């Protein structure tokens, strides 16, 4: 038995899944291929597209990270997928190795020791 045809064509992948695939698979693969091929122009283009890719959907891990690291500011919703990926990496590197109270977390000390230099 077949279901009725839809009035409008439906995409196989939604925008959220396309973003996930682009920033986690396609663009990193493209960057590595360009690097291995010695094509710095294509490598720079992959970096540009990665940095400019719009943010993905918000999720519980990002909300937790904003609560813990950014004081829970909802206005701190990150504007690009690259910024979201960076925050997720901080969670994996630090939050996943600490307790719910962030006891003995090394991230605050690391941030305190950062030196911002002008190029």
**Rounded Cα gap, residues 108 and 37, in angstroms:** 39
Is 85 within a domain? yes
Cβ(95)–Cβ(65) under 8 Å? yes
pLDDT at 74: 60
pTM above 0.85? no
Both 115 and 102 in one domain: the answer is yes
Question: What domain range is 89 assigned to?
Answer: 55-119
Is 110 found in the same domain as 83?
yes
* DSSP letter (8 states) at residue 3: P
What's the rounded Cα separation, in Å, for the pair 63 and 67?
A: 6
Q: What is the pLDDT of residue 45?
A: 97
Q: In total, how many domains does the chain have? A: 2
Question: Do 64 and 117 sit in the same domain of this protein?
Answer: yes
Regarding whether 69 and 42 lie in a shared domain, the answer is no
Q: Is residue 18 part of a domain?
A: yes
Choose among 58, 62, 52, 55: nearest CA to 90: 62
Asked whether residue 8 is domain-assigned, the answer is no
- pLDDT at residue 68 in the model: 79
pLDDT of residue 28: 96
pLDDT given for residue 37 in this prediction: 97
Do 77 and 106 fall into the same domain?
Answer: yes
Which stretches of the chain drop beneath a pLDDT of 70?
72-76, 116-119
Q: Tell me, yes or no, whether 91 lies in a domain.
A: yes
Domain co-membership, 112 together with 93? yes
Instruction: Tell me how crowded residue 83 is: count the other CB atoms within 10 A of its CB.
Output: 16
Please say whether the beta carbons of 14 and 26 come within 8 A: no
For the chain, give the number of residues: 119
pLDDT of residue 51: 94
115 and 59 housed in the same domain: yes
């Amino acid at each position: 038995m077949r279901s009725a045809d839809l009035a409008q064509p439906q995409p196989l992948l939604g925008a959220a899944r396309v973003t996930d695939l682009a920033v986690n698979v396609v663009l990193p693969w493209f960057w590595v291929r360009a690097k291995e091929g010695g094509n710095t122009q294509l490598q720079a283009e992959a970096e540009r597209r990665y940095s400019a890719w719009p943010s993905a959907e918000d999720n519980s891990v990002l909300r937790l990270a904003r609560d813990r690291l950014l004081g829970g500011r909802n206005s701190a919703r990150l504007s690009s997928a690259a910024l979201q990926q960076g925050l997720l990496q901080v969670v994996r590197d630090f939050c996943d190795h600490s307790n719910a109270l962030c006891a003995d977390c090394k991230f605050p000390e690391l941030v305190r020791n950062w030196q911002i230099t002008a190029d």
